[in-house]
Amino acid sequence: MHITVIAHRGASAYTPENTFAAFDRAIAMHATDIEFDVRTTKDGYPIVLHDDNVEWVTNSHGMIEDLRYEDIKDLDAGSWYGGAFKNERIPLLHETINKYADRCRMHIEVKSADTAVTAEVASLIHKGGAERSSVINTFWIDVARYVRRRQPNMSVALNLNELTPTSITDASSITLAGINLNYSLLTADLVKQAHMGKMKLMCWGGDSPRFWRKGFLTGADGVFADSPDKAIFYMEYLARESEKASSDALWKKK
């Protein structure tokens, strides 16, 4: 079986997250998919950044909602990780789409419950001709429903770190492309339910063989990994081992 390895914020175990350096490293490691986060500045520029402030990954401070793009564009987003990355900047979303749409599949997590923000992200994906190479990820099913209604050709996945009895069927009812499920919730039965609903199920929340093994053995379609090279290597190893051993034996392997 084939499991997709999605480079979480790029190759974030080796490079400053959500930067071109991280995405380039992931692709060099043969990752076919990258994941990154999007927030919007005070003056409406979608940027690639996880946190709601710039303190964690730059040499400055302030909340994104209070900063204009002019305040952000020249910040050093790499030195916090290492001097070799001193010239890395916080990318604009449209720059990222233009640079990577033809090189990999992009899983774009929109860090806002505001449908207008996600609509702008979808518009930039469309303008960049990247519908086939993009998936919009969101934690809010109302946002997912809005995008599916307004942009029926856009792939959308729902992030879940908790479940209700109808989580899978609710997602299936609006024809989502997939569900991104926290490893703590992952079971083979949930994977089967997702597949019955014609959705892929990816898993996130860990970056070690312990988590990747669980994704493999439950039949998940993909794993998010900070170390995509290690995840790819380990998935290939599990695929080989599965031809020689039962699933029960694989569960016991260290």
Residue 116 scores a pLDDT above 90? yes
What the block records as the tokens of 145 is 């429903």
Write out pLDDT tens, residues 29-46: 999 999 999 999 999 999
pLDDT band at 249 (very low <50, low <70, confident <90, very high): low
Residue 92 scores a pLDDT above 70? yes
The range of the structural domain enclosing residue 245 comes to 4-252
Reported residue count of the chain is 254
pLDDT at 2: 85
d(CA 105, CA 97): 10
What's the rounded mean pLDDT across residues 193-217? Answer: 97
Segment holding 213, helix H or strand E: helix 209-217
pLDDT band at 1 (very low <50, low <70, confident <90, very high): low
pLDDT band at 165 (very low <50, low <70, confident <90, very high): very high
CATH (domain of 27): 3.20.20.190
pLDDT at 16: 98
pLDDT at 251: 60
Q: At what angle do helices 20-28 and 93-100 cross, to 10 degrees?
A: 20
Number of independent structural domains in the chain? 1
Residue 107 scores a pLDDT above 90? yes
What's the rounded mean pLDDT across residues 171-187? Answer: 97
pLDDT at 253: 58
What the block records as the tokens of 191 is 């994977």
- If phi > 0 it is left, if psi is from -120 to 50 it is alpha, else beta; for residue 246 that is beta
